[in-house]
A and B are shown apart, each in its own frame.
Chain A
Amino acid sequence: KVHLQITASLLLKKYHGGHVVIRMALGGATNRPFYRIVAAYNKRSRDGKCIEQLGSYDPLPNIYNEKLVGFNYDRIKYWMGCGAHPTKPVAKLLGLKLLTLKIQMYFQITICFIGSW
Chain B
Amino acid sequence: MAALRVARGLFRSCRGVQSVDYDARALFLGARRPVCTSSSDDISGCEGADGVRKAQFADAEVQEILTRITGLDLERVFKPIKRELKPPKYKLMTDAQLEEAVLRAREQAGKLLKMPLVVPERQPIDDVLAEDTILEGMDTAKHVFTDITFSTPHRERFIVVREPSGMLRKATWEERDRLIQVYFPKEGRKLTAPPIFNEENLKVMFRQDRHEEVLNHCLVQFEPDSADFKKVHTLAFEHLEQEAKYEVLRSTRFFGPLVWYLVTRRRVDGLLTDMLQRDRLQDALSLVRLFNLVHPQSDCALQAVQQQATGLDLLKIFADCESQKSGFIKLALQTYEHSGTDIVLTAPQSKPGISAQHLQTTHGELGIPDYRSF
The interface of chain A, by Cβ under 8 A from chain B, is: 55, 61, 64-75, 93
Contact = CB atoms under 8 A, between A and B. Distances in A.
- Chain B, interface size category, equals 10 to 19
A9 to B, nearest CB: 32
Contact of B144 (A55, A69, A73, A74): A69
| 9 closest cross-chain pairs (CB), A and B | A61-B141, A70-B148, A74-B149, A66-B144, A72-B148, A70-B146, A66-B142, A69-B145, A65-B141
B143 interface: yes
Interface string B143-174: 11111111100000010010000000000000
Given A68-B179, A70-B183, A55 B141 contact: no
Choose among B142, B147, B148 the residue with the greatest number of A CB atoms under 10 Å from its CB. B148
Contacts of B179: 68
B145 to A, nearest CB: 5
B159 to A, nearest CB: 10
B43 interface: no
B355 to A, nearest CB: 60
A71 B145 contact: yes
Contacts of B144: 66-69
A70 B144 CA distance: 8
A67 B182 CA distance: 13
Interface in B162-200: 175, 179, 182-183
Contact of B142 (A55, A65, A72, A93): A65
Contact of A55 (B148, B158, B161, B182): B148
A35 to B, nearest CB: 13
B172 to A, nearest CB: 11
A114 B31 CA distance: 67
Contacts of A65: 140-142
A72 B141 contact: no
Contacts of A72: 147-150
Contacts of B150: 72
A68 B144 CA distance: 5
Given A66-B161, A68-B179, A68-B182, A73 B147 contact: yes
A73 B148 CA distance: 7
Contacts of A71: 145-148
A69 B149 contact: no
18 contacts: A55-B148, A61-B141, A64-B142, A65-B140, A66-B142, A66-B143, A67-B142, A67-B143, A67-B144, A68-B179, A69-B144, A70-B146, A70-B183, A71-B146, A73-B149, A74-B149, A74-B151, A93-B145
B163 to A, nearest CB: 10
B147 A69 contact: no
Nearest to A74: B149
Contact of B146 (A64, A68, A75, A93): A68
A71 B148 CA distance: 6
Nearest to B146: A70
A69 B141 contact: no
Contacts of B148: 55, 70-72
A70 B143 CA distance: 10
A67 B141 contact: yes
Contacts of B146: 68-71
B271 to A, nearest CB: 43
Contacts of A69: 143-146
Contacts of B151: 74
B150 to A, nearest CB: 8
Contacts of A75: 149
Contact of A66 (B141, B147, B158): B141
